[in-house]
Amino acid sequence: MDYIHLRDMQFYGYHGVLPEETVLGQRFRVTVSLAVDTKKAGETDDLNYTVNYVDVYELCKTVMEGKSFQLIEAAAETIASSILEKFKGQVFGCKVELVKPDPPIPGHYKEVAVEIVRGRYSE
């Protein structure tokens, strides 16, 4: 299996449990890795045989800058299920890492993140 990665996409959203998160908003980073077969695209140099990463970026942007989620787990799940649905037959699995670099938690830490892996194994 081959992989297409979109790393550290940055979005501004209003996700979180605390009221200030849904009013002030904050930055989020998203990385997605798509399990695909790129052999024919590589042989033909034809975009029709692979996943257009512009479309993946726009899908992630729509999720992250759209509806507010309380949990980053829910946002990551929505991204993964949307990718698998939109690119059915092209993407056989995906990993989504969603990073919340500045959550309102007192203390010293770099960031909080969730990473999920979803896939279709019957295709």
Q: Strand order in 112-119's β-sheet? A: 2-13, 26-36, 93-100, 112-119
Name the catalytic one among 86, 88, 100, 110: 100
**Would you call 100 a catalytic residue per the annotation?**
yes
Determine contact, residues 79/32, Cβ cutoff 8 Å: yes
Query: Would you say how long the chain is, in residues?
Result: 123
For 60-66, which contacts have Cβ atoms below 8 Å and span 24 or more sequence positions?
60/6, 60/9, 60/11, 60/30, 60/32, 61/9, 61/11, 64/11, 64/13, 64/15, 64/28, 64/30, 65/11, 65/12, 65/13
Q: Which residues are catalytic?
A: 100
